[in-house]
Structure 1
Amino acid sequence: MSAAEAKKQIQALTTELKQHNYNYYVLAMPTISDFDFDKKLEQLNKLEREFPEFADPDSPTQKVGGDITKEFVTVRHRWPMLSLGNTYNEQELLEFDQRIRKAIGDNFEYVCELKFDGLSMSLTYEQGKLVRAVTRGDGVQGDEVTTNVRTINTIPKRLHEGNYPDYFDIRGEVFMHRKAFERLNNERLENGEVAYANPRNFASGTIKMQDSAEVARRPLDCFLYFLYTEKPLFKTHWESLQAVKTWGFHVNDHSRLCGTIDEVLQFIAKWDKDRFDLSYDIDGIVIKINNYSQQQELGFTAKSPRWAISYKFKAERVETELISVSYQVGRTGAVTPVANLKPVLLAGTTVKRATLHNANEILRLDLHEGDTVFVEKGGEIIPKIISVNPDKRKSESLPIVYRTTCPVCNTHLERKEGEAAFYCPNDEGCRPQIVGKMQHFIGRKAMNIDGLGDETIEALYTRGYIRHISDIYKLHDRAEELKQMERFGDKSITNMLDGIEKSKQMPFEKVLFGLGIRYIGETVAKKLAMHFKTIDHLMAATQEELTAAEEIGERIAQSITEYFSNEKHRQEIEKLKELGLQFVAEEKEVKLASEKLTGQSFIISGVFEKFSRDELKDLIELNGGKILSSISAKLNYLVAGDNMGPAKLEKAQKLNIPIISDEELLAMIY
């Protein structure tokens, strides 16, 4: 492989895996199975070892978990929450066993534990009282969710009498039992809300809610499995598990002490078969060296312990028949093919449909009418077709040809160069696009209109009351007509109309995000609002002016210019202006603590003992400094902490950019 090809592949994999990490850890809505993610991560790791000059210092291979959400206080872990190395086959486990024997000899034991498919949690106890609960976050720091965790009945708020230390951390996994998941998911569907894909996502989404009363309404559970103390209390992990049970902690009863790797393999084989009989989901087995002294001797790599490994079960795969391929249209016009299948039982649920992603996937599978296909439900997410069984294909079977027109409005589909998806360009006349855009606009992350949900938008559109976003703000004129709608009483109508009126005060960045312009997410909308200040300046901006804005690339710039070149879009914005929505960014007056850093630019990288990166960023900006997003000749200082990426350090050194510590930064200010 040439250097240019390697660079391109590394960049593509890095971008893709960062997005998957965000989907998994922050949004709690993964779009890829654990197996596929780990294989891609392996591929990236291999490329980075061969071509280290192209490795991103913030590469997913260097990160333990996902990004920190902004809704909770960020807390640094006293003991980092490291991830475990993964394997999917017995041979790699045997090799792990050999490495252990070579390092510490043959006299050791394993502890085998079920690998729960939930949300990792660190609990801190002082004087026997729960004082703090923190999510994994990025492994170094996470979100404090103590109020929510206190609602979990199986987590003790105060311990029984026991020989526990005054201060300790205990790690565990918050999860939801399948029956509870099914009941609550059915409630969401009845209320017109989006269903969660699996119990793990529901648990993760719940623990990050702002309303602890709603958290308490959802039955979460938690198994605890690892104790951290300043001074060792026990000689082995097995002893500590038995002890913490007596203190009142909920410890899983299926763990086993194993003397040989053969016993470990027997334990894995048993639970690969029996896991579907449990009331909760597991996705593998965790294997740990039992003796703490031997754990210390084996030590750690940069991101995981050498004394533990997780064996992950392969996703269950079944064979079934393809009945037909249908097509769904999203709010951006993307047309997604869906395989309709002969119903088959897979991982405890009946599967009737599977995603086909795009036209490229249909070609890759060489999919024909009536094919017998292999379906997998990796990580208990959306089922997908893995491959076709060609031996069962009928001779007269014709290939599946991706449709050329929209399945809803019959408009000819378009496909941009370099993109996998086909799009319906008829965004003003295609029902799912129109309805989807309005549902996006009223959503919590956009205009957050109380009293107006996705189901109501559908009903209002069906009745002909709304066709555009601006029509939502004219519903006050239809108050009497609204009373004729099913389940629309005076109170619900009043709440909805009040919510619509209140939304007019939402800031420009929320309105911009709510418009649903392709590739304009929350962060990009905020950057654009800050840079251009008004919708008029944004609409008038050229491609060159757009890409000059922070973190705006060619693809986003092109999408913006295309959107505003449509006269109907411009007319809609004029209507929204007249209706009183905010299209001018608020000028927030920032009172500087000093001007000591005025004219100086900084990048913050690494981990700091006394400050979070956000705290250092705020400190710089309060004293007149500017934060940049990438290293260039314009940068004045790189503030470096521990574990900073080597590529970033090397680039700064090449450009002769001064590299300073957090203490040197403070000396510049105070």
Structure 2
Amino acid sequence: MDYKRNPPETFKDVDAMSGEEAQREVKALREGIEFHDYRYYVKNQPVIADALYDKLFRRLQELESAFPELQSETSPTRRVGAAAVSRLKKINHCAPMLSLDAGLEAADVARFIDFVRRNVGDEETAFVLEPKFDGFSVEIVYDRGVLKYGATRGDGQAGEDITHNLKTIAAVPLRLQRRNDAPDTLSVRGEVFMLRKGFQQLNRRRIEQGEAPFANPRNAAAGTMRQLDPKNVAGKPLDIVFYEILSTDGGMPATHSEMLKQLSEWGLKTYDRNQKVRSLEQIKSYRNNLAEERAHIEWDIDGLVIKLNDYAQRERLGVRHRSPRWAFAWKFPPKEEVTTLEDIVVQVGRTGILTPVALLAPVDVGGVTVSRATLHNESEVKRKDVRPGDQVRIARAGDVIPEVVERVDRPGKARGDPFAMPSQCPACHGRVHKEGAYHFCSNRLQCPAQLIGAIIHYASRPALNIDGLGEKTAAQLVHRELVKDISDLYRLTEADFLKLTGFAEKSARQLHQAIQARTRPGLDRFIYALGIRHVGQRIARILAETFAHFDRLARADRSELEAIAEIGPEIAQSVTSFFGQDDNRQVLARLEQAGVQVVGTTDAGRSRPLEGKTFVFSGKLDEYTRTEAEAKVAALGGRATSSVSGNTDYMVAGHDPGSKYEQARKQNIPIIDEDGFKKLVS
């Protein structure tokens, strides 16, 4: 029976059917419904009426109910059949999910094209142009053509498992078309977004129910996809477009345009007006057409993406730490409106940076009501010469963050003197110091405005790794005044945690024990945990190896610090300023009184056995995240890169390694498993 082109409108009575008949019909119905989903949601070319589709769907539900043994997790009826999850689990990506370099000017694009052509040696090389979707980036993995899992982008190396919610989006195939042609493992990247019309309807319902509206469709998509219960996601106006193969154990197409065609053949929705070009003029023309059509497209876009078409040329260019050298985003200028600047206040961020903020007469900018906007820093306020009472032009930079672009008019006499940054922090009255164009509160460990961020950073995995102490808990501890600086964490009792929302006896006991288990941190982790400006994990390790003991580092002056090869004046100033701040010294003393003993290292100046060695990781490791494994290599003098080249010394292969594994094998690069890696770094 043909359920694709000529489906029946009447069916045999279920009670009169044998199990074998039901099995054949269920198989045909699933294949037919998958085909019609593909035609409707991916191709926008339905071949049957909606009423007939609904009839097929109800018939499948009826058969699965009558014959429970035929139920399957890949059935179209299971899109909203998953149970709610207790939390979003972390999941490592098959390959890094990189961000893009971006610019607003044609000159930026010209420089990108010139760079590419100079480095690949091809003046006629082609590029593929795609809209830059203003959505929520995800990885989806298929195993033998069946959806296995999907995850958020996260930090680019690992994200949160949102499989249960992705299954509710009709354009996400539970099984690929042409599965016989699909590789055993396929990891693809796509963008989940919310349709504009549906976004407005969603916000209307939220307001009517007394909930805060979402700021924009991107925030709405991100917030919706992080729900724990898929029933809260089903029916939301979400869609998806796929645009990249991240990893596969099958062969990769030779070009990006061929890859997009392959995705479409597998039933993965792609934008149907991507274009291959060879000149800057063609790119400008595409951009102009896209900008004109922007208001009429059903979803938000904030520019276009320019990608080198040839994959072999991409491999030669490689990637930077966070972005590929073969792609560039040409962003649209922000949307603008004029309103009255009513006042300027100073906001203290979680990293201590002081930002002047304009309070505005509310104005609609691109469909979002804006009542406050950033002024960036003191120099910007003075350059624009804006004061309360001025008429100012407001833009949503990147269509999201509002900012004051310029003063348009000054009706009558402006109120007050030109703006100046305060000498004391508005949140804690600590000393404010200036670095370049920005002002910072020096009271890193005690300032209430910074304290939530300081606690989250202190407890983070690369720092003291206190499991269970996340943003929501940190915020409650600060807002309820249970923690006034990080030393107070060690004085908390189980009873204190029971006062917080979301805690029961077991979770309170576990978090209390997790904190108390971190009273003897290693020196490098403790240095990093303090959140000293400009001191990341690598610099923290260098400082630990050089000074060996915490008190020696705390007494070091700028000349001692600058004598270290990788420490420049800016880092040296930041470290000495941190330890020179009386408020910070008091918190460090209270940490010691609370029982925190920093374990110094006795191997300062130790040998670096992996010096000069380059590692590439592929697949999932059991005992390390990708970040931890790369940090281990760096601590021993080696370096980790994201792509295989002639300079690669070791390929570390975890579970389900991707195409990089095959590249390493073909180039005769030594391949080791996780046990081999552990032996090497032990």
TM-score band, normalised by shorter chain: 0.5 to 0.7
List alignment gaps of at least 5 residues for structure 1. 1-69, 186-194, 589-596, 630-638, 644-661
CA contact 1:598–1:625 (8 Å) conserved in 2: no
For residue 250 of structure 1, report the CA deviation from its aligned partner. Answer: 2.5
Amino acid at match of 2:422: T
CA distance in 2, matches of 1:605, 1:218: 44
Name the structure 2 match of 1:177: 194
**TM-score, length basis structure 2:** 0.56
Structure 1 residues 218, 549: closer, same or farther in 2, change over 3 A? farther
Find the aligned partners of 1:331 and 1:296 in 2 and give their Cα distance: 41
**Structure-2 residue corresponding to 1:39:** none
Q: Is the 8 A contact 2:100 2:327 kept in 1?
A: no
Residues of 1 paired with 2:269 and 2:385: CA distance? 50
Task: Give 1:340 deviation, angstroms.
Answer: 0.9
Distance in 1 of aligned mates of 2:555 and 2:464: 24
Could you tell me how far apart the structure 2 residues matched to 1:452 and 1:297 are? Answer: 45
Q: Is the 8 A contact 1:116 1:173 kept in 2?
A: no
Distance of aligned partners of 1:323 and 1:231 in 2 relative to their CA distance in 1, 3 Å threshold: closer
Give the superposition deviation at 1:355: 1.1
Q: Kindly indicate whether the alpha-carbon contact (under 8 Å) linking 1:317 and 1:346 is maintained by their aligned counterparts in 2.
A: yes
C-alpha contact 1:322 1:340 (8 A) present in aligned 2? yes
* Distance in structure 2 (CA, Å) of the matches to 1:431 and 1:147: 33
Map 1:409-428; keep pairs closer than 5 Å: 411=429, 414-416=432-434, 419-424=436-441
| 1:186-245 C-alpha deviation (Å, 9 max, x unpaired) | xxxxxxxxx9997768989999x9xx98999988853124689859899x959x867754
Q: Which residue of 2 aligns with 1:321?
A: 340
What is the deviation of 1:583? 0.6
CA offsets 1:360-399 (integer angstroms, 9 cap, x no match): 111121223322222222223421122222x555455655
TM-score normalised over the length of structure 1: 0.57
Matches within 5 A, 1:220-619: 222-225=240-243, 244-245=263-264, 247-252=266-271, 272=291, 275=294, 280-285=299-304, 302=317, 312-330=331-349, 333-389=352-408, 391=409, 393-394=411-412, 400-406=418-424, 408=426, 411=429, 414-416=432-434, 419-424=436-441, 431-433=448-450, 437-438=454-455, 440-442=457-459, 446-447=463-464, 449=466, 465-476=482-493, 479=495, 493-494=508-509, 496-504=511-519, 506-549=521-564, 551-566=566-581, 569-585=584-600, 602-603=611-612
Distance in 1 of aligned mates of 2:312 and 2:529? 55
1:152 corresponding residue in structure 2:
166
Going from structure 1 to structure 2, the CA distance change for 1:423 and 1:297 (only over 3 Å counts) comes to closer
Farther-moved stretch of structure 1 (372-381 vs 114-123): 114-123
**Residues 321 and 534 of structure 1: is their aligned pair in 2 closer, same or farther, counting only changes over 3 Å?**
same
For residue 562 of structure 1, give the secondary structure of its aligned residue in structure 2: helix
Cα distance per residue 1:435-464 (max 9 Å; x no partner): 664565455654454565656656655666
Instruction: For 1:42-61, list aligned pairs within 5 A.
Output: none
Deviations 1:337-376 (A, max 9, x none): 1111121222332111111121111112122332222222
Task: Give, in whole Å, the separation in 2 of the partners of 1:576 and 1:183.
Answer: 51
Q: Distance in 2 between matches of 1:604 and 1:196?
A: 48
Contact 2:242 2:270 in 1 (8 A): yes
Question: Which string of whole-angstrom CA distances, capped at 9 and with x for unpartnered residues, describes residues 311-351 of structure 1?
Answer: 64322122222111001124565322111112122233211
Aligned mates of 2:202, 2:518 — CA distance in 1: 29
- The code of the aligned residue for 2:181 comes to Y
Would you say the 8 A contact 2:520–2:599 is kept in 1? Answer: no
Q: What's 1:15 paired with?
A: none
Give the count of matched residue pairs: 524
Aligned-residue identity in percent: 29
Corresponding position: 1:164 with 2:172: no
| AA in 2 matched with 1:363 | K
Opposite residue 160 of structure 1, the aligned amino acid is Q
Indicate the SS of the match to 1:377: strand
Q: Are residues 307 and 433 of structure 1, via their aligned partners in 2, closer, same or farther at CA, if it must alter by over 3 Å? A: closer
Give the partner amino acid of 1:369.
P
What one-letter code is carried by the residue in structure 2 that aligns with 1:572?
V
Secondary structure at the aligned position of 1:473 is classed as helix
For 1:470, give the aligned amino acid: S
Q: Contact between 2:302 and 2:399, CA under 8 Å: does it hold in 1? A: no
Residue pair 2:91, 2:160 contacting (<8 A) in 1 also: no
**How far 1:421 moved relative to its partner?**
2.4
Q: CA RMSD in A?
A: 6.5
